[in-house]
Amino acid sequence: MADGDHSASTRSHTVSGDAVATSAPEEQPDVERIIAEHDEERPARRLSGRVALVVTVVCAVVSVFVLYVVFFPLARGTQYYLVLFLAAILPLTFVSYRPRPKPPSGSDGDRPDNPGVLDWALAVLSLAVTLYPLLDFDGFLERRQVPTTLDLVAGLLLTLLVLEACRRTTGWWLPAICLAFFAYAYYGGYLPADWSLAHVGFNIDEIVPQLYMGTSGFFGTPLNVAATYIVLFTIYGAVLDMSGAGKFFIDLSFAAFQGRKGRQSPNAPGRTVTLAGFLLGTVSGSGTATAVSLGSVSWPILRRAGYGREQGGGVLAAAGIGAILSPPTLGAAAFIIAELLRTSYLTVLVYAIVPTLLYYVGIILAIEIDARRHGARPVDIPAGSAGKLLSRFGYHFASLFLIVAFMAADIPPFRAVVYATILQFLFSFLDPAHRMGPRRLLEALAAGTRSVLAVAAVCTAAGIIVAVVTLTGLGLNLAGIIIDAAQVVGDHPTLVLVLTAVFAAVAVAVLGLAVPVTASFIIASVIITPALVELGVSRPEAYMFVFYYAVLSEVSPPTALAAVAAAAITGGNPIRTMWATWRYALPAFLVPFAFVLTDNGSALLAQGPLPGILAATGVSVLAVAALAAATGGWIVGPANAPERVLAFAAALLLLYLEPLTAGIGGALICVAVVLHLLRRRLRGRPDAPVPDTQGSTT
């Protein structure tokens, strides 16, 4: 669903029955614990007793309210709805999340951990200050230019509460960034007048109304997206999981590549993980959760096939991160892109098709190379028949197709996903093991709201950044600074664009090391995107460029949460696992440059005539293949350093997507292949697999 969709889905899939049964008597990893430790958006507490029951019921009621508003919009408008939504979300966040990311010292992390007096006090206070505007909503909106003292006090309190909710769900970095923006709005007037970042300066009675009483702050686009789209997709994800779809997707992936008895392919385990990661992305758009859930089932098979601990962790993390990149359910940032571009979510899905194809082509090719290079062994993958699974449980795909079909028919995505949720609920009665009676339905509705708490806190806090940028004009000022810095190196337009794109990629990746994907995208979209647009890059290409680098921060060293979580499953070295993941995901780091560097790059976002789209896709596939050969060190056999350098240079030239550079890139590939074949022929013997040096396989 969306990043931040952490429904009960994909957390503890146990594969049994006619499907996959990994019967090895080995200790299974604690999936819940690993996700909680390494997923920066979910250090939630374990509630128990009456508190757990009350929170479950309230969360379910919020989900029902959200579903009701889809068909019966509130007469007072969107901002009124957002006030009510935030009034429900903030108290639930304080009750559901600890003041610290870990349980108190000396306590058992698996023991229930109910809220204390401070948590309840913050929950009540947040409810009061959030509902305060509804006492006189029309008057509240009219007082924006001349707020009362009570308005300012309530606004400041809400600011502090939002920052605390964000700190509880994601850590200190995002609140610190928000405070820095707030300070800039207040103190920016004291900067020297000739500085590009200087502005006229704003007082508290000007800043707070921008945050609290307008539509560019707390109740702006980020929260609107969370309350209108993301929460509905998290509800859908919870129902999808409760109805057995997550288990079916894993079972189907294993069955699809099991091979006939005695004819198993050594590449099958890696292919299985890749397909399962793609399918599980429809249930949980979190790369970390997908990698861990998938690894708990598939790591024993990868190990028997000969994958080292770091190599296997890299495959799991790379496959997991594809969950946020893959249609039909991209991460939360994709909904924000649709809002910023004033276009449909279906259009954003279309933008993502070719890049997703290239991402998975890169992973599959890297897996094929590793299987040959390290001598992977064929293994028996116990699984049922793919045909039987599809005939019995293939209906789980229907709701996904329904979402796309309805959006193609111009039905808004928030309605399309509700229809899909209803359909999936009805389908649950076809499987007695996953039939959704009243209790399971209550759990699914509650899980849908619980899953959106963290991302809603992030989106609300990000409203501070958006409001300050709008108030001060910071976005345009920073765009000028970025471009001026690039022009110091050279003033050729292409060079300036390349340097700006490199800076943007590095800045977004670094930003993503500290804050969640959604937050890093929002910050980058208001600060970095204007620089790309000013240099002639179209807005769709600029936003998609930033989106991909925000997502890829989950596999970017030195934090790479998805890779660290996968290493916890495989027992590998986290740093080595990060670099293994980075190698598998490398095409995704380079392909976005093709969006922005030339006009032909728009074809990779499915814009323009079909022949141009097909040509750009074909050239890019060749570039990804060359990149896989260069990073994997394999062409027909092990490649030497000159051959790998030629392949890497060819990949870069091909990704520039201009006829001349594509021709040179193709020629370099031919040279690399010819040199490789000549060297093999002169050596006169077949290549042996390279021993695995990435970790023990036992």
Give residue-wise pLDDT tens across range 579-630: 888 888 888 788 889 888 888 888 999 998 999 999 999 999 999 999 999 9
What's the confidence (pLDDT) of residue 25? 40
Cβ atoms < 10 Å from Cβ of 101? 17
- Per DSSP, 44 falls in state B
Q: Which residues contact 351 (CB under 8 A, 6 or more apart)?
A: 540, 544, 605, 606, 607
3-state secondary structure at position 638? strand
Sorting pLDDT into bands at 50, 70 and 90, what band is 188?
Answer: confident
* The last residue of a domain, from among 599, 623, 647: 599
What does the pLDDT read at residue 685? 55
Query: In sequence order, what are the residues at sequence separation of 6 or more whose Cβ sits closer than 8 angstroms to the Cβ of residue 399?
Result: 236, 240, 420, 421, 423, 424, 427
Place 111 in a pLDDT band, splitting at 50, 70 and 90: low
- 695: pLDDT confidence band, cut at 50, 70 and 90? very low
Please list the residues that pair with 97 across neighbouring strands: 44
Q: Which residue has the tokens 């861990």?
A: 292
Are 682 and 535 within one domain? no
What number is the average pLDDT over the span 519-543?
A: 88
Hey, is 111 helix, strand or coil? coil
Identify whether residues 577 and 617 lie together within a single domain: no
* Mean pLDDT, residues 1-19 taken together: 41
Residue in this structure with the two tokens 């209108």, named with its chain if needed: 228
Give how far Cα 340 sits from Cα of 161, 186, 543, Å.
27, 27, 9
- Give the domain range for residue 661: 608-698
- The answer to whether the beta carbons of residues 191 and 198 sit under 8 Å apart is yes
> Is it the case that residue 421 has pLDDT exceeding 80?
yes
483 Cβ contact partners less than 8 Å away, ≥ 6 residues apart = 496, 500, 531, 534, 535
Q: What is the Cα–Cα distance from 241 to 141, expressed in whole angstroms?
A: 41
- Tell me the two tokens of residue 241: 């999981």
In this prediction the pTM is 0.81
Give the relative orientation of helices 641-655 and 659-683 as an angle to the nearest 10 degrees. 160
Which residue bears the tokens 């029902």?
Answer: 64
Report which DSSP code applies to 7: -
Residues 448, 313 share a domain: yes
Both 314 and 181 in a single domain? Answer: yes
Kindly report whether the peptide bond that precedes residue 104 is cis, defined as omega within 30 degrees of 0: no
* Cα 57 to Cα 6, 46, 363, 544, 665, distances in angstroms: 18, 16, 42, 38, 60
Q: Taking all residues of the chain, what is their mean pLDDT, rounded to a whole number?
A: 82
How far, in Å, CA of 20 to CA of 250, rounded?
8
Q: Would you call 306 helix, strand, or coil by DSSP? A: coil
Q: Residue 638: beta bridge partners?
A: 634
Q: Which residues contact residue 561 at a Cβ distance below 8 angstroms, ignoring those fewer than 6 apart?
A: 38, 39, 40, 287, 288, 554
Place of tokens 């800076």: 503
Token pair of 443, please? 């759990």
For residue 157, the surrounding DSSP H or E stretch is helix 149-170
Residues 672 and 544 in one domain: no
Q: Is 623 in the same domain as 590? A: no
CA 618 to chain centroid? 26
Of the listed ranges 306-315, 444-453, 639-648, the one predicted with least confidence: 306-315
Within this chain, do residues 588 and 635 fall inside the same structural domain, yes or no? no
Q: What's the number of domains the chain is made of?
A: 2
Q: Are residues 564 and 621 in the same domain?
A: no
Residue 373 vs residue 597, higher pLDDT: 597
- Same-domain status, 510 and 638: no
pLDDT at 16 over 60: no
Domain boundary among 565, 599, 633: 599
pLDDT, average across residues 498-504: 89
Q: Could you tell me how many helices (H) and strands (E) the chain has, helices first?
A: 30, 0
Q: Phi/psi of residue 430, each to 5°?
A: -80, -15
The whole-angstrom separation of Cα 3 and Cα 279 is: 15
Statement to judge: residues 650 and 594 lie in one domain: no
Q: Are 368 and 631 in contact (CB under 8 A)?
A: no
How far from each other are the two terminal CA atoms of the chain, in whole angstroms?
35
Whether residue 27 is predicted with pLDDT greater than 80 in this model: the reply is no
Asked whether 693 and 579 are in contact (CB, 8 A), the reply is: no
Confidence of residue 5 (pLDDT cuts 50, 70, 90): very low
How far apart are alpha carbons 169 and 93 in whole angstroms? 8
3-state secondary structure of 666: helix
Single-letter residue type at 193: A
* Mean pLDDT across 422-429: 92
DSSP per position, 192-226: -TTSTT------HHHHHHHHHTSSSSTTSHHHHHI
Residue with tokens 């495959």: 315
What would the DSSP string read from start to end of 329-351? S--HHHHHHHHHHT--HHHHHHH
Closest CA to 316 of 282, 363, 369, 375: 363
The amino acid present at 59, given as its one-letter code, is C
Higher pLDDT, 444 or 379: 444
Give long-range contacts, CB 8 A cutoff, 24+ apart: 636-640. 636/673, 636/676, 636/677, 636/680, 637/676, 637/680, 637/686, 637/687, 638/373, 638/687, 638/690, 639/672, 639/676, 640/679
User: What's the confidence (pLDDT) of residue 687?
Assistant: 55
Q: Tell me the chain's radius of gyration from C-alpha atoms.
A: 26
Q: Per the structure block, which two tokens stand in for 438?
A: 């009243």
| Same domain as 404, residue 331 | yes
Domain boundary among the residues 540, 570, 599 is at 599
Pull the structure tokens for residue 60.
Answer: 């379910």
Give the model confidence (pLDDT) of 127-177 as tens digits: 999 999 999 999 998 888 889 999 999 999 999 999 999 998 888 888 999
The pLDDT value given to residue 10: 39
Is pLDDT of 635 > 60? yes
Closest of 288, 285, 296, 287 to residue 250, by C-alpha: 296
What is each CA distance from 647 to 28, 512, 529, 569, in whole angstroms? 41, 30, 31, 33
What ranges in 342-427 are assigned the alpha helix state H? 345-373, 386-393, 398-408, 413-427
CA count, 13 A, side-chain hemisphere, 308: 21
Q: Are residues 260 and 147 in the same domain?
A: yes
pLDDT score recorded for residue 541: 92
How far apart, in whole angstroms, are the C-alpha atoms of residue 251 and residue 21?
A: 9
How buried is 630 (Cβ within 10 angstroms: 0-12 exposed, 13-18 middle, 19+ buried)?
buried
